[in-house]
Structure 1
Amino acid sequence: MGEESKGQRDTHSPESSAEDSSLRKTIDFFSSLISLSHSIKVFSAKWQSIRSKLEELSSGLIALENCDSSENPEINGLILSMMVTITESYDLARRCVDLSYSGKLLMQSDLDLIYAKLDTHSRKLSEIYNAGVLTRGFAIIVSRPGFGACRDDMRFYVRDLVTRMKIGDIEMKRQALTNLHAAVVEDEKYVNVIAELGDIVHVLVSFLDSPETEIQEGSSKVVSVITGFDSYKSAVIGAGAIAPLIRVLECGSQLGKEASARCLQKLTENSDNAWSVSAHGGVTALLKICSLGDCRTELIGPACGVLKNLAGVEEIRRFMVEEGAISTFTKLSRSKDETVQINSIEFLQNIASGDEFIRQMIVKEGGIRALVRVIEPRSACSSKTREISLRAIENLCFSSTSSIGILLNYSFVDHLICFLRNGEVSVQELALKVAVRLSGTSEEAKKALGDAGFMAELIKFLDSKSFEVREMAAEALAGMVLVPRNRKRFVQDDRNIALLLQLLGPEQEHSGNKKLLLSILMSLTSSNSGRRKIASSGHLKNIEKLAEAEVYDAKKLVRKLSTNRFRTMFSGFWHF
């Protein structure tokens, strides 16, 4: 027989066959003992720990089958040692199943000793792999169980992958991470298995500091999936993930940075983790990413999201402001990427919450203009982005007279009425809410709304099916008609007063807020034409019936109309 090529295993040699037989026999013994351990009802916690170690060693031995180890005496010695431990373990397992042990304390001591021996074997096997004396052959990868497989099969598959991560070469680690990521993405039950086998999260977190790019990327992608489940975030935090995730942000590959940013965004949804991110330099790293113009939106988007989550902590907020975050995020609010734009707008809103000084900084940096551009009807922004921008404008601008003046100069009211007339339902309702709020800020705002034609639109909403919408429309109108020129414009259309009076009729009992409607009518009596049109309306009886029913505002309105009518008559008689 010719000499075999380097690295290829001679599967026909007696030594190789003997080793294969011994290795396969050991693997079979491990499998048999694992199965037997499931039927043990006593010392369950200790047997669960032993079973986890058995599964880990079994996976390691299966991986060993894929390597050329025929001339390694350490492996032969380790296999013989394992067989001795397995024999002892099998005897203890039988005695636990049959309840034939002599005493609980003695059995507990024996089980602790067995676990210690198995742990020693595991560490020895890892040392052999890490020494690099083995060459990978044609690997027989354990196939992922089919959908709906039992939990034990899933555990064994995951344990096998983790063993490969621990003791395999770089390629084996990379492949194991790839397979694990595919499993957790396609079936979330694998995330539950990972959580049960708690040491896996620690292994994944340790890989975040790997100098090998593919290992770092693979682990960060798996950790990102795990952090998507609220119940397992604490496990990731407990494994000390925040510091290495930030190191990936600072020095990792592009894909690694993106996965790391996604992880941190999910972890910082709980404000308790904000200080940990800040303590490890995360804020500086994230601000740097957001300020660079050459970063991909897949990275900037979640980076903005993390900072948005951190902006609620006052000390961190102040640091961000000092580092130029306002200018950075004002620029990002103009991004063409929806995720970046939304996160940056929400960041500006969060960081300015309850802080007038920061609000003014945003105004000086052109924040109002940037937000108004988002809601321009001709812009390509989505409805979701427009809604978020409208809320941000409301929260950032309505507490300041100067900011309202800037808004009015940027045609904000024209954009609002456009959405009120033609926007999608969600945007239309929000535009109405914002208009109502704006109408209560200043007389200039009331005038601007009136000049833009808002009253004609609000009148239509008084007959809406939604009580909330009806009430908002009535509230806005009640404020706007306090302005003389709005009052004059309102009464010019006879249908407006007729509709108000109709809505006060008994058949329209649930059509709106009577108090607000009566308030609007009371304001209209301040003008001669308003009084005349109310008094001459065929629906005046609706007010009179309310007055007879002792509705105070209706009685007040009737007295006002009656007094004015008497004065008019008296004035005519005197000049006769």
Structure 2
Amino acid sequence: MGEEEKPKQQQHQNSTESFTAMKSSLRQAIQVISSLISLSHSIKVFTVKWQLIRKKLEELSSGLMAVENCDSSENTAVFSGFIPPILVTVNECYDLARRCVELSFSGKLLMQSDLDVMVASFDRHLENLSGIYSAGILSHGFAIVVSRPGLGACKDDMRFYIRDLLTRMKIGDIEMKRQALVNFYEVMTEDERYVKLVVEVGNIVNVFVGFLDSPEIEIQEEASKILSLISGFDLCKGVLVRTGIIGPLIRVLESGSDLGKEGAAWCLQKLTVNSDNAWSVSAHGGVTALLKICSSGDFGGELIALACGVLRNLVGVEEIKRFMVDEGAIATFIKLARSREEIVQISSIEFLQNIASGDESVRQMVVREGGIHALVRVLDPKSATSSKTREVALRAVENLCFSSQNCINMLMIYGFMDQLVFFLRKGEVSVQELALKVTFRLCGTSEEAKKAMGDAGFMPELVKLLDAKSYEVREMATEALSNLVSVPKNRKRFVQDDRNIGFLLQLLDQEEGISGNKKLLLSILMSLTRCNSGRRKIASSGYLKNIEKLAEAEVSDAKRLVRKLSMNRFRSMLSGFWHS
């Protein structure tokens, strides 16, 4: 071996020994801290101060574990000078803990002072550790140190784990922070108990909110995902608002990535369910930012739908609603109602319903801007629109159009009658029932509407529903039919089908008791007696005995119907006598 190689070998050996010694002292510090944390749980005096010290110890332990995970000897000198002062402080603290457990301290004031010194010492150590992380000496290669507790783990293990993640979020490099956020999101989605602990432990929520303003897009996105998750829990909403989350969320909406914006909008949607937060959103420029997302055409359907949801929550505040209207929200959302994306269609139609609810001037604006035509297009049976979207559109028609004859006329011009008949005949069950409800409302609006409905073929479809399994469906169909046959033209059309009257008389026998539905059936039959062919077909029906049976049971409507039929038979006999 050459003379030049000996110093190098000696240098390498010294470095290895130093590294081993550093690792040994580091392991000792971690073990003493762990033992001190356990001991602190049995202390019954100065509990607030010991809770604070325990929190510092847990953060310090997490940071030292990350150092222990470092397998490089390059930074031995840095750590060798850093660990001994920690050991001194921890041993001093251990002595204080033992005296608190044994109640062997000389005075309360002196012990309080000593504990305050401990807190300050641990703060210095954590600050030094943070400097090491910030300098990049430790990188994301050491981010995953503490194993995630299994399902059903005790709260102490869970608390220690999230304190470890909090330490990494505070003092780690960018990748370490990101990974800690990812881990936070995963554990909270798997076990809701972590959400409660996040609120209880330290200032974790403040750290999450602070990350919303991070210049690092990935950090901002992960933070917005977590905040959107915890904002769904009632115990967190007040904490989030008190932390000042609204402003940062709006800033993400204005300049964040699309994924960050989705998380921010989702969070705002949950927070604005409470109308008390509406003014805060408005004050930070949130309404303008949300309207811009909806009107620009630069964003995906998921984000637009979430923005719609937030704005829908805000329309309950009159001043904010007026601002939206002045900013052109009506035209924007009518345009969105024509979108090919289901989620956008549904959200925009629901927004239009909300903003027009109870406000005639806004409702008229929706009509003027083409809202009715947009809804009818959504309901086109030839389109690929989903059943859910059609249900939303039918509700919107019912809520927006039936208070004005002009709107009803527009519906008829746009072909809405034919669509409604189609859904009564061939719609899925949920759409069919909603179509029946709209039919029921429509036939009570005007004589013109009843005539148009008769021409469009509503009556045969209503007859099919008269013996539906659902009592509500039967009753609604019967009442709608009763309204339609009150029009002479519809009566004549109805009795042309010989099966209709026989079917009505059969149903009279099936209805139990003197139900409201039975009364409606008798009302329909009474209307039909105003038509000559209707009277004849009722009188000659083989099921006439069902009416007579009810009349004998003192059912007043049946007795009236029998009298009406008897009078007409008597008149026919007289007419035949005088003309013989």
1:484 aligned to 2:510? no
1:314/1:413 Cα in 2 relative to 1: closer, same or farther (>3 Å)? same
Check the 8 A contact 1:49/1:115 in 2, yes or no: yes
1:554/1:510 Cα in 2 relative to 1: closer, same or farther (>3 Å)? closer
1:296 aligned to 2:300? yes
User: What residue is the counterpart of 2:438 in the other structure?
Assistant: 434
User: What residue is the counterpart of 1:371 in the other structure?
Assistant: 375
Q: Share of identical aligned residues, percent?
A: 68
User: What residue is the counterpart of 1:22 in the other structure?
Assistant: 25
* Distance apart, 1:22 and its partner CA: 3.2
Instruction: State the secondary structure of the residue aligned to 1:12.
Output: helix
1:367/1:92 Cα in 2 relative to 1: closer, same or farther (>3 Å)? same
1:10/1:255 Cα in 2 relative to 1: closer, same or farther (>3 Å)? farther
* Distance apart, 1:393 and its partner CA: 1.0
1:392 aligned to 2:406? no
Q: Give 2:41's match in structure 1, choosing from 34, 38, 43.
A: 38
User: What residue is the counterpart of 1:493 in the other structure?
Assistant: 497
1:145/1:106 Cα in 2 relative to 1: closer, same or farther (>3 Å)? same
Letter in 1 for 2:144: I
Q: Give 2:468's match in structure 1, choosing from 452, 464, 470.
A: 464
User: What residue is the counterpart of 1:350 in the other structure?
Assistant: 354
* Deviation string, structure 1 residues 126-169 (Cα, Å, up to 9, x no partner): 45644x37454852621333444433333222211211111122
User: What residue is the counterpart of 1:152 in the other structure?
Assistant: 156
Check the 8 A contact 1:433/1:472 in 2, yes or no: yes
Check the 8 A contact 1:502/1:508 in 2, yes or no: no
User: What residue is the counterpart of 2:97 in the other structure?
Assistant: 93
Check the 8 A contact 1:450/1:480 in 2, yes or no: yes
User: What residue is the counterpart of 2:244 in the other structure?
Assistant: 240
Letter in 2 for 1:60: G
Letter in 1 for 2:533: S
* Distance apart, 1:292 and its partner CA: 0.9
Taking the aligned partners of 1:475 and 1:276, their CA distance within structure 2 comes to: 49
1:181/1:487 Cα in 2 relative to 1: closer, same or farther (>3 Å)? same
1:494/1:32 Cα in 2 relative to 1: closer, same or farther (>3 Å)? same
1:169 aligned to 2:137? no
Taking the aligned partners of 2:329 and 2:143, their CA distance within structure 1 comes to: 52
Check the 8 A contact 1:210/1:216 in 2, yes or no: yes
1:44/1:532 Cα in 2 relative to 1: closer, same or farther (>3 Å)? farther
Instruction: State the secondary structure of the residue aligned to 1:28.
Output: helix
User: What residue is the counterpart of 2:576 in the other structure?
Assistant: 572
Letter in 2 for 1:395: N
Letter in 2 for 1:252: G
* Distance apart, 1:492 and its partner CA: 1.3
User: What residue is the counterpart of 1:199 in the other structure?
Assistant: 203
Q: Is the deviation greater in 85-94 or in 416-425?
A: 85-94
User: What residue is the counterpart of 1:555 in the other structure?
Assistant: 559
1:234/1:65 Cα in 2 relative to 1: closer, same or farther (>3 Å)? same
Letter in 2 for 1:364: R
Q: Give 2:280's match in structure 1, choosing from 276, 282, 287.
A: 276
Taking the aligned partners of 1:37 and 1:525, their CA distance within structure 2 comes to: 92
* Distance apart, 1:13 and its partner CA: 5.1
Check the 8 A contact 1:375/1:415 in 2, yes or no: yes
Where structure 1 has 5 or more consecutive residues not aligned to the other structure, the ranges are none
* Distance apart, 1:354 and its partner CA: 0.9
Check the 8 A contact 2:169/2:180 in 1, yes or no: yes
Q: Is the deviation greater in 35-44 or in 362-371?
A: 35-44
User: What residue is the counterpart of 2:326 in the other structure?
Assistant: 322
1:52 aligned to 2:32? no
Check the 8 A contact 2:67/2:138 in 1, yes or no: no
Check the 8 A contact 2:143/2:179 in 1, yes or no: no
* Distance apart, 1:102 and its partner CA: 7.2
Check the 8 A contact 1:26/1:83 in 2, yes or no: yes
* Distance apart, 1:81 and its partner CA: 4.5
Taking the aligned partners of 2:89 and 2:575, their CA distance within structure 1 comes to: 117
Q: Is the deviation greater in 57-66 or in 207-216?
A: 57-66
1:3/1:414 Cα in 2 relative to 1: closer, same or farther (>3 Å)? farther
1:536/1:204 Cα in 2 relative to 1: closer, same or farther (>3 Å)? same
Check the 8 A contact 1:66/1:137 in 2, yes or no: no
Q: Give 2:255's match in structure 1, choosing from 248, 251, 257.
A: 251
- The two structures have a TM-score, normalised by structure 2, of 0.90
1:493/1:10 Cα in 2 relative to 1: closer, same or farther (>3 Å)? farther
Q: Give 2:384's match in structure 1, choosing from 380, 384, 391.
A: 380
* Distance apart, 1:92 and its partner CA: 4.1
* Distance apart, 1:337 and its partner CA: 1.5
Q: Is the deviation greater in 520-529 or in 88-97?
A: 88-97
Q: Give 2:66's match in structure 1, choosing from 63, 79, 82.
A: 63
* Distance apart, 1:496 and its partner CA: 1.4
* Distance apart, 1:387 and its partner CA: 0.6
Check the 8 A contact 1:10/1:16 in 2, yes or no: no
* Distance apart, 1:61 and its partner CA: 2.5
Taking the aligned partners of 2:266 and 2:75, their CA distance within structure 1 comes to: 41
Check the 8 A contact 2:221/2:259 in 1, yes or no: yes
* Distance apart, 1:395 and its partner CA: 0.5
1:140/1:423 Cα in 2 relative to 1: closer, same or farther (>3 Å)? closer
* Deviation string, structure 1 residues 109-142 (Cα, Å, up to 9, x no partner): 7656644554454345445644x37454852621
Aligned residues: CA RMSD: 2.9
Taking the aligned partners of 2:157 and 2:321, their CA distance within structure 1 comes to: 48
Q: Is the deviation greater in 84-93 or in 197-206?
A: 84-93
Q: Give 1:178's match in structure 2, choosing from 164, 178, 182.
A: 182
User: What residue is the counterpart of 2:268 in the other structure?
Assistant: 264
Letter in 1 for 2:438: V
1:460/1:259 Cα in 2 relative to 1: closer, same or farther (>3 Å)? same
Check the 8 A contact 2:394/2:435 in 1, yes or no: yes
Check the 8 A contact 1:470/1:511 in 2, yes or no: no
Spell out the pairing of 1:134-145 with structure 2 (5 A cutoff). 134=137, 136=139, 138-139=141-142, 141-142=144-145, 143-145=147-149
Count residues with an aligned counterpart. Answer: 569
Taking the aligned partners of 2:108 and 2:464, their CA distance within structure 1 comes to: 82
1:437/1:138 Cα in 2 relative to 1: closer, same or farther (>3 Å)? closer
Check the 8 A contact 2:275/2:313 in 1, yes or no: yes
1:87/1:441 Cα in 2 relative to 1: closer, same or farther (>3 Å)? same
Taking the aligned partners of 1:227 and 1:458, their CA distance within structure 2 comes to: 47
